[in-house]
Amino acid sequence: MNRRSVWITATAATLLLVVAAFLSLSLGVVRLSVPETLQALFRPAEAENSAAAVIWSIRLPRIIVAMLVGAGLATVGAVMQAILRNPLAEPGITGVSAGAAVGAVAGITMGLAGSSQWGIPLAAFAGAAIVSLILQFVLQTRRDLGPATIILVGVSISALAGAIINVLIANAHDDALVRSALFWLAGDLELRSWDHVLIALAPIVLGIAYLLSRIHALDALSLGEQTAATSGVNVARERVLLLLVASLVTGAAVAVSGIISFVGLVVPHAVRLIVGASHARLLPLSALGGALFLVLADTIARAAFGSVVVQTGVVAALVGAPIFLILLLRKRPA
More confident residue, 323 or 47: 323
Q: Answer yes or no: are the C-beta atoms of 55 and 92 closer than 8 Å.
A: no
Query: Is the model's pLDDT at 331 over the cut of 60?
Result: no
Q: Rounded distance, CA 8 to CA 26, Å?
A: 27
Query: Is the model's pLDDT at 287 over the cut of 90?
Result: yes
Q: What is the pLDDT of residue 113?
A: 65
Q: Rounded distance, CA 28 to CA 146, Å?
A: 47
Q: Rounded distance, CA 73 to CA 249, Å?
A: 8
Domains in the chain: boundaries:
3-329
Please give the mean pLDDT across all residues of the chain.
Answer: 85
Q: Which CATH superfamily is domain 3-329 in?
A: ABC transporter involved in vitamin B12 uptake, BtuC (1.10.3470.10)
Q: What percentage of the chain has pLDDT greater than the value 90?
A: 31
Q: Answer yes or no: are the C-beta atoms of 90 and 264 closer than 8 Å.
A: yes
Q: Rounded distance, CA 66 to CA 128, Å?
A: 20
Each residue of 108-141: pLDDT tens digit? 888 776 666 677 778 888 888 888 788 778 777 7
Q: What is the pLDDT of residue 13?
A: 93
Global pTM reads: 0.88
Q: What is the pLDDT of residue 334?
A: 39
- CB neighbours of residue 213 within 10 Å: 9
Each residue of 48-103: pLDDT tens digit? 778 888 999 999 999 999 999 999 999 999 998 888 887 777 887 778 888 888 98
Q: Answer yes or no: are the C-beta atoms of 120 and 99 closer than 8 Å.
A: no
